[in-house]
Structure 1
Amino acid sequence: MSVVQDGPYREQRGIDGMSSLSDDSDLAKFIYWDNLTYAPPGSRDPEKWDAKLGAQIYESYLDHCVEAEGLGYSGLSMPEHFGPSSLVTHPNIMLAALAARTKRARIVSGVNLALLHRPMHLAEQFAMIDVLSGGRLEVGLGRRGDRAAFEHAADLVDGTLNEIDCPVAKDDLTPATAPFAQDVETAKITVWPRPVQRRVPLWVAAETDGSLAAAARRGWNVFTGLNLDPAAGGMSKVGVNEMVGRLDRYIEIGRENGHELSMANTAASCFTVVADTDREAAELVRDGFASHVEAASGHLARLAGAHPDESSLETLAKEGDTGVQGVFEASADSYLENPFALVGSVETVRGKLDALLAAGFRRFVLLCGGVGNTHEIGWQTAKAMAEDVAPDLFSAARSATTVPDAR
């Protein structure tokens, strides 16, 4: 069932001039990421999370993404988050809207949890988004559950989306394709419509030696993961030198397997808050996490039948490894000390960014609208990064992604 196309449609692939995130290895590129949360102050009162407020946040996010593109952001992204405060339980719907609203920036799924979906359905959705965007999609997949099962799901998405020789077993077929493959153990399946790009870039969230090696062998790009752990007092789980060492090995393994990888194939996910002072920025991060946990616990308690005035935080904090206690015990200073957290004043964040650049990082997912912080706070940070912290880097990225006037 593999379909190979000829003619004008196939020839149009790759002529739009828009480079992928991993292209232009010496150029610093930034991805604007927002969690699209109701919180705060609404996070503490879930009954106010109505459709009207949700629609306002969606519209504001889409408008800001258009502006972010103009500021020089190379990519636009959001997570797949489930919970009482999240508005992006199915981010691919928003990615399709971004495809219609924007023209130059790469559209990045950051990330879809592959094991929560049928991989073949995800591949079909990604193909549609790539066509809608004119070939600007970058697929991001994250693991939740068994590693081997995740790698298999990612292989299926990559293989069927990009026509890689990846036979699909009966159990992985969709109901639409299964009737045509009743007499075979595996089938070569490709999605329809075909993507615009000859190879849709695939990124996976990877941080451990094992996950990085698996990605390297396949030539996948990697997000280094959210290096901010509120349950560990706001500190990163992995230091800069250790992370760079792991990424060097990732690049080496990739090259051993025939893939020309570099630091441009890696992206540091950085929780980002820029404010007038270091203290203000750090407290925004700490309060955002606390607000999110409080909202989530209160909402789930009510679903379980608790009275609206009752709080389950004390109970959660005593439940072993939930991490709740660490969220509330983390000091504001711990977020400033984290080298991967671009948190602080303009001067402080500029210094942290310079240190990451000096370490070799060239791709940054800026988690501006992070867990618990309002969309507007996130957008103020996104603008400050482009206009105040690193205007020269954003200007260079903007010039590199300018689409020539067809006239």
Structure 2
Amino acid sequence: MSALSDESGITKFVYWDNLTYSPPGSYDPEEWDAGLGARIYENYLDHCVEAEHLGYAGVSMPEHFGPSSPCPHPNIMMAALAARTTTARIISGANLPLLHHPLQLAEQLAMIDVLSGGRLEVGLGRHGDRAAQEHAIDLVDGGLNRFDLPVPKDDLTPMSAAFLADAETAEVTVWPRPVQQRVPLWVAAGSDESLATAARRGLGVFTGLNITPSAGGMAPLRVDEMAARLRRYVEIGQEHGQALSMAHVMASCFTVVAETDREAAEIVRDGFIRHVESAAVYLARMAGSGRLDSPLESLAEQEETGIRAVLETPADSYLRNPFALVGSVETVKEKLAALRAAGLTRFMLLCGGVGTEQAIGWQTAKAMAEDVAPELFLAARNGPVRMAAA
């Protein structure tokens, strides 16, 4: 039950599922299949229980909207996981704090930590203005991990603010209090600026996943370049009094294990395109369009959307991306070994990656534990070796 960043000498894996409804579901909300939706949720919970037995140190899911991934409120799923699992860490991968009242989000997360017996780890993703995002993260962090957090009047409800009279801040304590003395927080970070900001705050980082395609394929990202930037993240944290190490870096990896490299790459590419397509349909309807066909082609004509690059990205680019654990068993073994040689020890495996059917994703999750790295999963199950007392 130790935190993901504890036991730095052990490699730890997190099972992540996109909860993909479409395909095989429909993009049309009038055709929503409640039975299929319920099975997707139930399958995910069952898979997380089995993942715990396989040696996954944590389980996670996104905050996604629309038909491709009907998980707009992951805290509900995390509460269910708190009741169904016993040892795995429960990680939001990730909450978007600017879409919620940060203090209410902190209250919900505190409840999950209590329900799980202190197994919560909070992932926070960026959405919108950077300054507002950092403020929201500080409110969530403070609400969970501090008593009597100083909160500006504008961040309180009108009823609470009425008690402040002319004061500008209030001392707010969020209830219930978490089980953990400090609930670990992780943030999505890729740029040097965002890595440095996380380091100064002592936050772990999700990084490495590159889903920004170009016409020639996924934009290149070398392991040695990324490793140097991550080591600098650790140094900045230590310079600011934070006890950071590479165990606070979670490599987020598209993960598909198949019979051949080509098969695995095509699974990722096809699933990614279906995910983008379903999201485009959803956004078109939200914008008031009555069209039920895919708006991808019209979006692809607008260069700034990047949709054309998504459609033209060759499957091989997912094989070339060192942070995508995509390929045959032997290929994925080699990629994982290269990442570990660079100092990475924490991996969020997007087994049910965006758009990938749930059954295929679960096959990959089992293949990682049983075929690709069984010795690492065994070590994670057994925990660190402890010396007998004299």
If the length of structure 1 is used for normalisation, what is the TM-score?
0.90
Question: 1:377 Cα shift?
Answer: 1.0
Could you tell me which amino acid in structure 2 is paired with residue 378 of structure 1? G
Question: For 2:306, which of 297, 320, 323 is the aligned residue?
Answer: 323
Aligned partners of 1:234 and 1:58: how far apart in 2? 33
Which residue of 374, 380, 386 corresponds with 1:391? Answer: 374
- Structure 1: gaps (5+ residues): 1-17, 403-407
Query: For residue 92 of structure 2, what is the aligned residue in structure 1?
Result: 109
Mean alpha-carbon deviation: is it higher for 380-389 or for 323-332? Answer: 323-332
> 1:13 aligns to what?
none
Aligned equivalent of 1:249:
232
1:191 aligns with 174
* CA contact 2:330–2:372 (8 Å) conserved in 1: yes
1:31 Cα offset (Å): 0.5
Match of 1:380 among 358, 363, 367: 363
Q: CA, structure 1 residues 75+124, in 2 after alignment: closer, same or farther (shift >3 Å)? A: same
- The 3 A distance-change label for structure 1 pair 312 and 203 is same
Pairing of 1:102-251 with structure 2 (within 5 A): 102-163=85-146, 166-174=149-157, 177-224=160-207, 226-231=209-214, 233-236=216-219, 238-251=221-234
- What is the one-letter code of the residue matched to 1:146? D
RMSD of aligned Cα (Å): 2.0
In structure 2, stretches of 5+ residues that fail to align are: 386-390
Letter in 2 for 1:54: G
Offset of 1:359 from its aligned partner? 0.4
Match of 1:297 in 2: 280
- How far, CA to CA, are the matches of 1:175 and 1:108 in structure 2? 32
Letter in 2 for 1:82: F
Match of 1:267 in 2: 250
Residue equivalent to 1:10: none
What is the 5 A alignment of 1:56-75? 56-75=39-58
CA distance in 2: counterparts of 1:243 and 1:165, whole angstroms: 38
Q: Which of 331, 339, 349 lines up with 1:348 in the alignment?
A: 331
Residue 183 of structure 2 aligns to a residue whose secondary structure is coil
8 Å CA contact 2:25, 2:33 repeated in 1: no
Cα deviations across residues 325-382 of structure 1 (Å, max 9, x unaligned)?
A: 1121111111111100000011100100000000000000101111111111111111
Per-residue CA shift, 1:117-140, capped at 9, x if unaligned? 111011001100000000000011
Closer/same/farther in 2, CA of residues 167 and 331 from structure 1, 3 Å limit? same
Cα deviation code 1:193-222 (max 9, x no counterpart): 110000000111111111111111111111
Give 1:84 shift. Answer: 2.9
Q: Following the alignment from structure 1 to structure 2, what is the Cα–Cα distance between the partners of residues 148 and 108?
A: 24
User: What is the one-letter code of the residue matched to 1:89?
Assistant: P
Amino acid aligned to 1:284? I
User: Residue 366 of structure 1 aligns with which residue?
Assistant: 349
Q: Which residue of 1 aligns with 2:295?
A: 312
User: How far does residue 252 in structure 1 lie from its aligned partner after superposition?
Assistant: 0.8
